[in-house]
Amino acid sequence: MVSNDMRDSIILTILSFVFSLIAVALMLRVSTKKAWYDEQNERKIHAGDIPRLGGAGFATVFIAIALFITLRDPESSFRIRFFFPILALVLVLVSGIMDDFKPLRPLVKLLIQVVAALCIVIPGYTFKRFFFTAELAPGFEWVLNILSFIWIVGLTNAMNFIDGVDGLAGGVSFLAVLAYAAIFMSLSESSPVALYCFCLMAVLLGFLVFNLPLPAAKIFMGDGGSQFLGFILALFPLLNWERTAPAHTLPLFYAAALLLLPILDTVAAIWRRVRDGRAIYLPDKSHTHHKLMNLGLKARGVDGFFYGMQIILGLLVLFSVRSKGAASLILLGAAYVSAICFFVVIHFVNRKTVVKQPLNKG
């Protein structure tokens, strides 16, 4: 028999999907009417006028649903704890939408992200340990506090970096959140964070109806959507999966393993730009999805590679969380090795292909 809580969760998840469909469709119509299109330049790979405010639609729906879930909770302490995360999400979304209309200076964007990250770290939403089996030595909590801050700001930008192909950022985020939900439910059947995960998956699904390359995206999520997703993906492992145990958060190395695709792509981009003497915020066409397209893959092929790898990472991290002792660490290590091999193989195959291409003498 379905409990009242489960019934309410199912209803909220379905409503999240329906409202997201409506909101994204509305943004598509308004953006087309107002000519709010994504800027076309030499680094963009899409053709034609594509609206860019899909993120404003699905993210607004999620924030509204999350606020409803939080306010209806009977525990006042629970409502208070979630005030700052929701406030930070609103700040990131609004600044991202502003950036979609008129590009903000990199320093201004970073400052806003710093403020949003502080709204999370200062109230105590931080990593509590590196592994499940290793407690942090007393007096060294500040190390994880700093790493939590870097984690939030870094991942907010990392998801923006991989948002370069129809359906890529949204699909990878959907699969990552699915893994989060499975992990939280495996740790606690009554995890309050799992419901937020299901609602986020639902709003992403509503957006992907319009964003998947079938045959081409009708709307993009824009910076508002990609930064919002990066921020909330960074936030989920910092939330307590149990109501009564503030130390019950996902350890750093498990959360990082789940999001290695945007993390490694961003690390490679920063290294590449520093090596070439370029500012790290300047875009280029050397991201992993660009390399896959250089090999002849279309958007659906690129998505397939990333989705497949994200599913592998999600399963390895889930099984690692459910295992104990050496088996857990072996599975976790396998996730890191798999992701690194994924990027290294694509890099060298792409470089070999580029070298073999004849020079254009025309």
Q: From the annotation, which residues make up the binding site for Mg(2+)?
A: 160, 223
At residue 283, φ and ψ (nearest 5 deg) are: -75, 160
User: CA 122, CA 85: separation in Å to the nearest integer?
Assistant: 11
User: CA 153, CA 266: separation in Å to the nearest integer?
Assistant: 12
Q: What CA–CA distances, in Å, run from 233 to 102, 153, 262, 358?
A: 25, 11, 11, 42
230 with 160: CB under 8 angstroms?
yes
User: CA 20, CA 10: separation in Å to the nearest integer?
Assistant: 15
Binding site: what residues are annotated? 160, 223
**Residue in the block written with tokens 């319009």:** 210
Q: Which amino acid belongs to residue 202?
A: A
HSE-CB of 199 using CA atoms within 13 angstroms: 26
156 with 231: CB under 8 angstroms?
yes
Q: Residue 288 CA to chain centroid, in angstroms? A: 16
User: CA 144, CA 128: separation in Å to the nearest integer?
Assistant: 7
DSSP 46-94: --S--B--HHHHHHHHHHHHHHHHHHT-S-HHHHHHTHHHHHHHHHHHH
Taking phi over 0 as left and psi of -120 to 50 as alpha, with beta for the rest, 39 belongs to beta
